[in-house]
Amino acid sequence: MSQPRNRWIVQVILVLAVLVFVGVSVVPIIGAFNNTPSTNQNNGSTRGGLASSDQKSKLEDEERGYELVLQREPDNQTALKGLLQARLQLLSLKQGNIQGVIEPLEKLAKLNPENTQYGVLLAQAKQQIGDKEGAAQAYRSILDTKPGDLNALQGMVALLLNQQRPEAAIGLLQDTLKNAAQANTIQPGSVDTVAVQVLLGNVHASQKRYAQATSVFDQAIKKDPKDFRPVLAKAMLLKQQGKVTEAKPLFDSAVALAPAKYKDEINKAATASPTPTPAASPAPSP
């Protein structure tokens, strides 16, 4: 399993909150939208203000330069990437608009269908401006060819939950698991079934379907007893329900199974105060 994929699922588990699914793996876009200078920064030195003004001017010059290149060479990817980066940085300074980010992302996604990061960022940007159907289409275009893409899956799941469609989110993940064996036969390792199971369990948990969530986590643990992720997910679920004593041996097991770089995070999660599960219009358990 790749390190970025592992890091993503660990973060999702540690938070155990569906509302945090969005943004876990699309830091460039969300970071630009939310990177608002603090009050202290705004009241900082004049030199800081001048630096910010100089940065804005420099970025606007870069933006114009890339735009001129693209007028001559519309598919110049170096210019497209530069334009995207400049506009993202301008957004972080509260300049420009999200639509300006969408334009180069659409071209980059089309020119690089194998690089799903552009498609995911495009979907996130469209969702940010309220174009939920456009966001869904962007996610579907990825999942049609790469059904196991975790970034696209978590984005689509979050979008469906935001639309109060938990059954659709659950169905998507169940279908992904159902077709995983065939997909992995065609392209080995293309669907991380344990990661998808953990995501499915978390969706159940967000709807307060704790029995179903526990069952999914248990299936994942049985599938790969040496994988710490479902063990950690189950521990977090028990802790969310106030079952701290039952959760402790699972946290200990997760620490023992996890790579060294995750052990401190798991220990912190084990000792932190439980965080209420975000409301997501829980549906009654069947």
pLDDT in tens, the chain (286 residues): 455 544 544 444 443 333 322 233 333 344 444 443 444 444 454 455 556 788 899 999 999 999 999 999 999 999 999 999 999 888 888 888 888 999 999 999 999 988 898 999 899 899 888 999 999 999 999 999 999 999 999 999 999 998 999 999 999 999 999 999 999 999 999 999 999 999 999 999 999 999 999 999 999 999 999 999 999 999 999 998 999 999 999 999 999 999 998 899 899 889 887 655 443 333 333 3
Answer for the pair 90, 66: CB distance below 8 angstroms, yes or no: no
Domains of the chain (ranges; CATH) run 3-36+94-271 (1.25.40.10)
The answer to whether the beta carbons of residues 28 and 88 sit under 8 Å apart is: yes
The type of residue at 86 is A
Rounded to whole angstroms, the Cα distance separating 201 from 283 reads: 15
